[in-house]
């Protein structure tokens, strides 16, 4: 790396620490980055000069002694627009540097067929409102979006959205065009982004190896190995939901196969196991089963246990393959997991090699319904964190 590259890397790394830490002292930055104090101070000065961070006394500091200044993100000034397209809802938010959701808009998404036009129309309208109402001296440094389907890296083309019938829909390009704020839209798969969010700000903060399972109509996944999201050769990896767990008499899956994990543990599988009619669907219907189980309804309890066994088989395979430090259950699985945990644990005990399971922890998502939105915001911040001063010069001009 040349001098300039090293400096850009250090500026980005420091901003990342402040963005994720919220408020970090000079001393901690010096320790974490293993640079000397004067280099750290020069980097802080550069970022402060660009309006990305500020230094201040920690709250509650009295006059006595010489307290160490803390570095904070300029959350009131720097933000991204984040979008979340789930099966049943559309969310848009302004997310500040530092990760706080400042303002949000939300709409219900009907379960219709391919609806690119409506989805983009609603999100672009929300996005323009959020952009217009942002403080005058603030700057939008990126746009990130989460979509419940398989996304082509680079241009945000939805290659395959099995639950809504989307095939090769130019979602990212179309949203960018209709937003009309001169910024491209980075799009990621919802479960990939959920994994990223949980690793940066949620249940798996700081872990280098974790697996995130996201339940919606189906089941998506994100696998983080050595601190990096596993993407595959074309960016379509981590389709944990289509791991075959029941090939002989498995339920039909939306992908055309049979016995996929999501066919056995997805929304329909739970509702069928609980004896709910075909007309009942959606997150409320899933919640109703979970609530009934909590109240002691044996049919609902048995349905969750049945799902838990299949879920456990999937998780056991993943533990043997990846030896994760944590498996996190998000989306509707967050609600289903507690009633299914005993079966999942039993499968892990029975099917995972002892040395591969001795440290794995099982948790529900700490970010809840916002995991995918938070992940989209992190995607929106990624260019800024790679080259803070360069991106700011481009977006502010
Ligand atoms: Zn499938």
Task: Tell me how far the alpha carbon of residue 273 lies from the centroid of ligand 1, in angstroms.
Answer: 19
Report the DSSP beta bridge partners of residue 80: 95
395 pLDDT higher than 90: no
Q: What is the pLDDT of residue 274?
A: 97
pLDDT tens per residue, range 352-369: 998 888 889 999 999 999
Q: What is the pLDDT of residue 101?
A: 96
397 pLDDT higher than 70: no
Average pLDDT over residues 12-20: 96
Q: Which of 13-17, 55-59, 63-67, 242-246 is the least confident region?
A: 63-67
pLDDT band of residue 64 (cuts 50, 70, 90) is low
Task: Tell me how far the alpha carbon of residue 243 lies from the centroid of ligand 1, in angstroms.
Answer: 7
Distance set, CA 322 to CA 272, 319, 341, 360 (Å): 31, 5, 20, 11
Task: Tell me how far the alpha carbon of residue 162 lies from the centroid of ligand 1, in angstroms.
Answer: 9
pLDDT band of residue 231 (cuts 50, 70, 90) is confident
53 pLDDT higher than 90: yes
45 pLDDT higher than 90: yes
Task: Tell me how far the alpha carbon of residue 369 lies from the centroid of ligand 1, in angstroms.
Answer: 24
Distance set, CA 325 to CA 24, 30, 66, 211, 288 (Å): 26, 28, 40, 8, 32
Task: Tell me how far the alpha carbon of residue 254 lies from the centroid of ligand 1, in angstroms.
Answer: 6
Task: Tell me how far the alpha carbon of residue 396 lies from the centroid of ligand 1, in angstroms.
Answer: 45
Backbone angles phi, psi at 233, to 5 degrees: -70, -35
Q: Which of 80-84, 230-234, 359-363 is the least confident region?
A: 230-234
pLDDT band of residue 380 (cuts 50, 70, 90) is very high
Q: What is the pLDDT of residue 29?
A: 94
Q: Please, where are the H alpha helices in the chain? A: 3-21, 26-33, 37-49, 116-132, 171-179, 190-201, 261-265, 267-273, 283-294, 298-322, 332-351, 354-357, 371-386, 388-396
Q: What is the pLDDT of residue 12?
A: 96
Task: Tell me how far the alpha carbon of residue 258 lies from the centroid of ligand 1, in angstroms.
Answer: 7
Task: Tell me how far the alpha carbon of residue 234 lies from the centroid of ligand 1, in angstroms.
Answer: 19
pLDDT tens per residue, range 284-330: 999 999 999 999 999 999 999 999 999 999 999 999 999 999 999 99
Task: Tell me how far the alpha carbon of residue 67 lies from the centroid of ligand 1, in angstroms.
Answer: 57
pLDDT band of residue 138 (cuts 50, 70, 90) is very high
Task: Tell me how far the alpha carbon of residue 332 lies from the centroid of ligand 1, in angstroms.
Answer: 18
Task: Tell me how far the alpha carbon of residue 303 lies from the centroid of ligand 1, in angstroms.
Answer: 21
pLDDT band of residue 236 (cuts 50, 70, 90) is confident
Average pLDDT over residues 202-212: 96
Model confidence, pTM: 0.94
Q: Beta-carbon neighbour count of residue 66 at 10 Å? A: 5
235 pLDDT higher than 90: no
Task: Tell me how far the alpha carbon of residue 306 lies from the centroid of ligand 1, in angstroms.
Answer: 19
The DSSP annotation for 87-148 comes to: SSEEEEEEEETTS-EEEEEEEE----S--HHHHHHHHHHHHHHHHHTS-TT-EEEEEEEEES
Task: Tell me how far the alpha carbon of residue 164 lies from the centroid of ligand 1, in angstroms.
Answer: 14
Task: Tell me how far the alpha carbon of residue 103 lies from the centroid of ligand 1, in angstroms.
Answer: 36
Task: Tell me how far the alpha carbon of residue 241 lies from the centroid of ligand 1, in angstroms.
Answer: 6
Q: Beta-carbon neighbour count of residue 333 at 10 Å? A: 23
- The average confidence (pLDDT) of the chain is 93
Task: Tell me how far the alpha carbon of residue 301 lies from the centroid of ligand 1, in angstroms.
Answer: 25
Task: Tell me how far the alpha carbon of residue 145 lies from the centroid of ligand 1, in angstroms.
Answer: 24
Distance set, CA 226 to CA 206, 207, 208 (Å): 11, 9, 5
Average pLDDT over residues 64-84: 89
Task: Tell me how far the alpha carbon of residue 42 lies from the centroid of ligand 1, in angstroms.
Answer: 52
pLDDT tens per residue, range 147-202: 988 888 888 888 887 767 778 888 999 999 999 999 999 999 999 999 999 999 99
Q: What is the pLDDT of residue 184?
A: 94
Task: Tell me how far the alpha carbon of residue 263 lies from the centroid of ligand 1, in angstroms.
Answer: 7
Percentage of the chain with pLDDT > 90? Answer: 78
Task: Tell me how far the alpha carbon of residue 238 lies from the centroid of ligand 1, in angstroms.
Answer: 13
Task: Tell me how far the alpha carbon of residue 294 lies from the centroid of ligand 1, in angstroms.
Answer: 30
Q: What is the pLDDT of residue 95?
A: 98
């Amino acid at each position: 790396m040349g001098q300039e590259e090293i400096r850009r890397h250090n500026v980005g790394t420091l901003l990342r620490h402040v963005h994720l830490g919220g408020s970090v002292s000079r001393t901690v930055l010096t320790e974490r980055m293993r640079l000397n104090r004067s280099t750290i101070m020069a980097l802080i000065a550069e970022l402060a000069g660009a309006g990305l961070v500020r230094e201040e006394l920690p709250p509650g500091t009295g006059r006595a002694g010489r307290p160490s200044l803390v570095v904070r993100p300029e959350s009131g000034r720097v933000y991204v627009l984040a979008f979340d397209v789930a099966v049943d809802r559309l969310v848009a938010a302004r997310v500040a540097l530092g990760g706080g959701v400042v303002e949000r808009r939300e709409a219900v998404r009907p379960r219709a067929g391919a609806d690119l036009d409506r989805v983009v129309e609603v999100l672009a309208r929300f996005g323009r409102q959020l952009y217009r109402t942002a403080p005058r001296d603030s700057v939008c440094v990126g746009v990130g979006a989460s979509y419940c389907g398989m996304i082509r890296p680079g241009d945000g083309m939805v290659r395959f959205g099995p639950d809504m019938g989307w095939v090769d829909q130019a979602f990212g390009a179309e949203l960018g065009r209709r937003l009309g704020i001169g910024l491209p839209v980075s799009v990621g798969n919802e479960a990939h982004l959920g994994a990223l969010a949980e690793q940066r700000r949620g249940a798996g903060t700081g872990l280098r190896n974790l697996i995130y399972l996201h339940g919606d109509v189906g089941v998506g996944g994100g696998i983080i190995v050595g601190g990096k999201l596993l993407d595959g050769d074309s960016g379509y990896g981590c389709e944990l939901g289509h791991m075959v767990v029941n090939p002989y008499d498995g339920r039909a899956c939306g992908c055309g196969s049979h016995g996929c994990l999501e066919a056995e543990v997805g929304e329909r599988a739970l509702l069928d196991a609980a004896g709910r009619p075909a007309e009942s669907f959606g997150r409320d219907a899933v919640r109703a089963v979970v609530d009934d189980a909590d109240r002691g309804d044996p049919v609902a309890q048995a349905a969750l246990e049945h799902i838990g066994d299949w879920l456990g088989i999937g998780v056991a395979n993943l533990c043997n393959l990846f030896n994760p430090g944590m498996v996190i259950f998000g989306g509707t699985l967050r609600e289903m997991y507690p009633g299914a945990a005993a079966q999942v644990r039993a499968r892990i005990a029975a099917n995972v090699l002892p040395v591969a399971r001795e440290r794995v922890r099982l948790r529900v998502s700490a970010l809840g319904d916002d995991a995918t939105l938070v992940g989209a915001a992190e995607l929106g911040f990624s260019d800024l964190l790679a080259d803070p001063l360069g991106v700011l010069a481009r977006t502010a001009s």
